[in-house]
């Protein structure tokens, strides 16, 4: 199945925003709609933002009205320090159920659901395997609230998949992400002058670069991956290795017994360690990422390179701090830019490039698919013959056709083209 | 980062499913630690100091049948296990490193308990210890084609008293046979004489075991009165290691699909291997003239 009309739930999370930026560069996605409770935090070109709370009836109306074929759920909260437990539960369990409910029903247009989950599902225990594969269950039931929520949410997704065998359901279990723009309890931990550790333990840890998280999500949208996939970079490092790469010392300040109490003292000192992180600092965790690699995805960074990137960022951060302004979403401005007839079509989509995309991400999909649009909406459009324009019309997207129709009626005034556009639009309807 | 690694997101799906082996992470030459946590540096240090000393001078290890250890591909080494802080694992690994034509690394399977115990948790992976999880053994044997050493007796072997020496304990539930069958690698039985006398256990102190949270709290010639290092103070017994002819498992795997599910077959093979090692042990002990001089 080829996804054309997608909805991104959790647009205002880091992942939702980055994914929308990556997808909107590709004209094959006709409609990209993002929903969230708060406005997006990144600059978007053509993604339409709708503020929706977790009401499944509203989401369902959106899905049906826009004939959404792919739902990408990036809302999952995976850090129990950043979000309060009650809010996290609301979001992770009830939110997931609402979104799944909105996708069910015999006449639902949804054909694909991509769900961002977390490796917290596996937990970290003494009797874990060194590398979890997707089919393995955690050896003990979850004990922290966050892990319970994630297990419950994935259970709901699995149930949804069983009930809707025709829908492709992809569950991506991400290990801890690291990246320059990410603020998690882990980056805070690595930002400390020395990397805290539990005395007598040197756990194995595995990370995934933020670019790869977006890459994995995009890979799941572009390809049909049915089932569950671990997403973690190649290579598992020991914590001492990580500290080495960061150019820091390993500080075994936490005692092996009574770790929780000592973590409480540390919290007073300003360094928070979530219960999940404490388990991880004791037992560590590794994921087997070969299933996703077998599906064709190639990670851009290994775990080691991910840590080195973080180190580069840590060096640069004090110099760059405050130099870039945070993006603020202005509803009216975005509305004007997207829908006002006064905005020239050329500037509507192509005028601004997303500024906060890494070099590899910018235009990740538009090298071969963009040709048609560039010819028609480019500067030399007026020089084209009416027949030539009519010939390329079927390859255009709906919104481009509508733009072109407005342009043709108001400026060029070539009747055959307007009539041809009307015919195509009528057929699509 | 190498520019070549950055690939297009639109990579098409591969035509044929690749073998899981081909998708293993590439080795990064800059790293001195592998994905299991094995540290080249720390292991090298141990090898040059403690292992060298114990192998050549203290235990004066004598090795027979080293050619039975395959030079390529995975193989499961199965050995008897003994000693309060067992020296047998590291000595077998050292024997393969010293005597084998290709000095291959050996991964030792250890109890899950050690992953949760401070100190052990840090040190054991660095010298090649891997938790005895079936998935770990399978990945090492089948995907990474490594040598894995297992002690099917487990702690029943190490905690047994001096008077029970060279009497093999129960071989678990035969999980090691199933693992070898699944990975289609041969099983190499190993008989080792000397470790029983090097670290004999005369008794146990259950109360102290509970207080320390250890697997067992033994009384040995030097422990506990010699302090924690007393565990390392082995008696200078003469070690003899005999590698026995490998038992192939791949034609068994050809017989039917998933022979490792056949509990009868697995148990039978486990008993056979146990009997082979027991027989060999008794033979070696009967020919031995002195515990200390061999």
Question: Three-state secondary structure along A401-415?
Answer: HHHHHHHHHHHHCCH
Query: What's the CA angle centered on B92, arms B89 and B97, to 5 degrees?
Result: 125
Helix H or strand E segment including B281: helix B263-287
Per-residue pLDDT, A60: 92
Contact status, residue A35 vs residue A78, Cβ threshold 8 Å = no
| Residues contacting residue B48 through CB under 8 Å, at least 6 positions apart | none
Nearest to B22 by CA among A77, A39, A290, A297: A290
Q: Point out the residue among B18, B36, B121 whose CB comes nearest to the CB of A130.
A: B36
Per-residue pLDDT, B144: 94
Q: Count up the domains in chain B and report the number.
A: 1
A148 reaches B (C-beta below 8 A): no
How far, in whole angstroms, is CA B165 from its chain's centroid? 19
Q: pLDDT 10s digit of each residue in chain A, 429 long?
A: 788 899 999 999 999 999 999 999 899 999 999 999 999 988 888 899 999 887 888 999 999 999 999 999 999 988 888 788 888 999 999 999 999 999 988 889 999 999 999 999 999 999 999 999 999 989 999 989 999 999 999 999 999 999 999 999 999 999 999 988 888 888 888 988 999 999 999 999 999 999 999 999 999 999 999 999 999 999 999 999 999 999 999 999 999 998 888 888 888 888 888 889 999 999 999 999 999 999 999 999 999 999 999 999 988 887 776 666 678 888 888 888 888 888 876 665 544 444 444 444 433 334 333 333 333 444 456 666 777 777 777 777 777 888 888 877 777 677 778 888 888 887 766
Per-residue pLDDT, A373: 39
The rounded distance, in Å, linking the Cα atoms of B232 and B228 is: 8
Per-residue pLDDT, A349: 52
CB contact under 8 A, B9 and A218: yes
| Among A residues 278-307, those touching chain B with beta carbons less than 8 Å apart | 282-283, 286, 288-290, 293-298, 300-302, 304-305
Beta-strand pair A207-209/A176-178 = parallel
Contact status, residue B226 vs residue B258, Cβ threshold 8 Å = no
The rounded distance, in Å, linking the Cα atoms of A357 and A42 is: 10
Per-residue pLDDT, A386: 74
The domain that contains B240 carries what CATH number?
3.40.1130
Structure-block tokens of residue A102: 């909105």
Contact status, residue A164 vs residue A194, Cβ threshold 8 Å = no
Q: Which domain holds residue B264?
A: 36-287
Structure-block tokens of residue A5: 């009309």
The rounded distance, in Å, linking the Cα atoms of B20 and B126 is: 25
| Among A residues 102-141, those touching chain B with beta carbons less than 8 Å apart | 126-131, 133, 136
Nearest to B121 by CA among A304, A124, A100, A74: A124
Contact status, residue A20 vs residue A8, Cβ threshold 8 Å = yes
Residues in chain A within 8 Å Cβ distance of B7:
298, 300
Helix H or strand E segment including A267: helix A259-268
CB contact under 8 A, B13 and A296: yes
- Taking the CA of residue A163 and the nearest CA in chain B, the distance in Å comes to 27
Give the up-direction half-sphere exposure of residue A189: CA atoms within 13 A in the CB hemisphere.
27
Beta-strand pair B187-193/B240-243 = antiparallel
Across the beta sheet with A48-51, the strand order is A48-51, A31-36, A5-9, A70-73, A112-118, A168-174, A227-231
Number of neighbours of residue A269 by Cβ within 10 angstroms = 7
The reply to whether B53 falls in a domain is yes
The reply to whether B294 falls in a domain is no
B138 reaches A (C-beta below 8 A): no
Q: How far is CA A116 from CA A121, A238, A354, in A?
A: 12, 26, 24
The reply to whether B100 falls in a domain is yes
CB contact under 8 A, A131 and B1: no
Residues in chain A within 8 Å Cβ distance of B130:
130
B16 reaches A (C-beta below 8 A): no
Best interface-test mutation with B: which of A294, A299, A360 has the largest number of B CBs within 10 A?
A: A294
| Residues contacting residue A65 through CB under 8 Å, at least 6 positions apart | none
Best interface-test mutation with A: which of B15, B122, B131 has the largest number of A CBs within 10 A?
A: B122
Contact status, residue A117 vs residue A149, Cβ threshold 8 Å = no
How far, in whole angstroms, is CA A178 from its chain's centroid? 14
| Residues contacting residue B265 through CB under 8 Å, at least 6 positions apart | B252, B259
Structure-block tokens of residue B82: 């003994």
Nearest to B195 by CA among B164, B235, B226: B235
Q: Point out the residue among A136, A201, A235 whose CB comes nearest to the CB of B122.
A: A201
Per-residue pLDDT, B251: 77
3-state secondary structure of A289: coil
Contact status, residue A20 vs residue A33, Cβ threshold 8 Å = no
End-to-end alpha carbon distance in chain B: 56
Ranges under pLDDT 70 in chain B: 1-18, 253-256
How far, in whole angstroms, is CA A80 from its chain's centroid? 19
Helix H or strand E segment including A242: helix A239-245
The reply to whether B20 falls in a domain is no
The reply to whether B31 falls in a domain is no
The reply to whether B268 falls in a domain is yes
Per-residue pLDDT, B8: 38
Minimal-distance CA residue of chain B relative to A300: B6
- Taking the CA of residue B65 and the nearest CA in chain A, the distance in Å comes to 32
Give helix A96-103 / helix A56-65 axis angle, nearest 10°. 40
- Domains of chain A (ranges; CATH) run 5-320 (3.40.50.720), 372-429 (no CATH)
Q: Point out the residue among A129, A218, A300 whose CB comes nearest to the CB of B5.
A: A300
Nearest to B81 by CA among B161, B162, B140, B166: B166
Number of neighbours of residue B57 by Cβ within 10 angstroms = 9
Residues in chain B within 8 Å Cβ distance of A215:
9
**pLDDT tens digits for B14-57?**
445 567 888 899 888 889 999 999 999 999 999 999 999 999 99
| Among A residues 369-398, those touching chain B with beta carbons less than 8 Å apart | none
Per-residue pLDDT, B3: 39
């Amino acid at each position: 199945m080829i996804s054309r009309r997608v909805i991104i739930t959790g647009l205002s999370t880091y992942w939702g925003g980055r994914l929308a930026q990556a997808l909107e560069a590709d004209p094959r996605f006709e409609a990209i709609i993002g929903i969230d409770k708060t406005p997006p935090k990144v600059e978007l070109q053509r993604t339409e933002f709708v503020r929706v709370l977790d009401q499944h009836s509203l989401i369902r109306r959106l899905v049906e009205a826009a004939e959404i074929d792919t739902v990408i759920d990036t809302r999952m909260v995976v850090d129990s320090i950043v979000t309060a437990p009650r809010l996290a539960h609301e979001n992770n369990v009830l939110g997931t159920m609402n979104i799944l409910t909105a996708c069910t029903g015999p006449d639902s247009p949804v054909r694909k659901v991509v769900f961002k989950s977390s490796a917290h599902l596996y937990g970290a225990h003494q009797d874990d395997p060194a590398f979890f594969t997707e089919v393995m269950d955690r050896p003990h039931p979850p004990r922290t609230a966050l892990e319970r929520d994630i297990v419950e949410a994935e259970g709901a997704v699995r149930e949804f998949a069983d009930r809707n065998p025709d829908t492709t359901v992809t569950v991506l279990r991400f290990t801890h992400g690291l990246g320059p723009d990410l603020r998690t309890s882990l980056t805070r931990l690595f930002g400390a002058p020395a990397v805290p550790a539990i005395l007598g333990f040197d756990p194995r840890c595995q990370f995934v670069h933020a670019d790869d998280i977006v890459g994995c999500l995009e890979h799941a949208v572009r390809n049909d991956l049915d089932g569950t996939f671990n997403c973690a970079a190649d290579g598992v490092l020991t914590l001492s290795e990580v500290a080495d790469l960061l150019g820091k010392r390993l500080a075994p300040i936490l005692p092996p017994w009574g770790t929780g109490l000592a973590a409480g003292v540390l919290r007073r000192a300003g360094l928070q360690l979530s219960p999940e992180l404490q388990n991880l600092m004791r037992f560590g965790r590794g994921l087997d990422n070969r299933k996703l690699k077998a599906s064709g995805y190639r990670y851009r960074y290994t775990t080691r390179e991910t840590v080195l990137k973080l180190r580069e960022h840590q060096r640069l951060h004090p110099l760059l701090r405050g130099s870039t302004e945070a993006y603020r979403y202005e509803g009216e401005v975005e509305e004007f830019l997207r829908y006002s007839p006064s905005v020239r079509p050329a500037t509507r989509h192509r005028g601004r490039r997303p500024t906060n995309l890494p070099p590899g991400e910018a235009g990740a999909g538009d090298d071969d698919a963009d040709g048609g649009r560039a010819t028609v909406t480019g500067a030399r459009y007026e020089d084209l013959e009416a027949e030539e324009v009519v010939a390329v019309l079927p390859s255009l997207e709906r919104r481009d056709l509508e733009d072109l129709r407005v342009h043709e009626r108001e400026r060029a005034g070539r009747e055959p083209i307007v009539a041809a556009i009307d015919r195509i639009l009528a057929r699509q309807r | 980062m190498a520019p070549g690694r950055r690939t297009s997101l639109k990579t098409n799906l591969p035509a044929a499913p690749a073998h899981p082996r081909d998708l293993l992470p590439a080795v990064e030459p800059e790293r001195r630690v592998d994905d299991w946590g094995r540290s080249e540096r720390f292991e090298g240090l141990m090898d040059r100091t403690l292992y060298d000393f114990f192998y050549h001078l203290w235990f004066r290890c004598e090795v027979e049948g080293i050619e039975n250890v395959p030079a390529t591909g995975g193989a499961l080494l199965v050995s008897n296990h003994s000693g309060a802080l067992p020296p047998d694992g590291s000595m077998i690994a050292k024997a393969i490193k010293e005597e084998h034509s290709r000095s291959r690394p050996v991964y030792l399977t250890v109890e899950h308990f050690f992953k949760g115990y401070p100190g052990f948790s840090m040190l054991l992976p660095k010298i090649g210890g891997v938790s005895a999880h079936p998935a770990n053994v399978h990945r090492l044997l089948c995907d990474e084609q490594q040598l894995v050493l297992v002690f099917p007796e487990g702690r029943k072997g190490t905690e047994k008293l001096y008077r029970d020496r060279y009497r093999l304990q129960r071989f678990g539930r035969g999980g090691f046979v199933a693992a070898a069958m699944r990975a289609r690698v041969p099983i190499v039985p190993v008989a080792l004489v000397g470790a029983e006398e090097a670290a004999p256990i005369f008794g146990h102190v259950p109360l102290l075991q509970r207080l320390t949270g250890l697997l067992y709290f033994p009384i040995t010639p030097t422990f506990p009165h010699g302090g924690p290092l007393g565990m390392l103070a082995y008696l200078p017994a003469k070690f003899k290691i005999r590698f026995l002819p490998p038992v192939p498992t791949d034609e068994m795997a050809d017989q039917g699909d998933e022979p490792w599910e056949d509990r009868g077959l697995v148990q039978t093979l486990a008993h056979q291997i146990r009997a082979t090692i027991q027989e060999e042990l008794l033979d070696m002990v009967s020919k031995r003239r002195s515990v200390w001089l061999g």
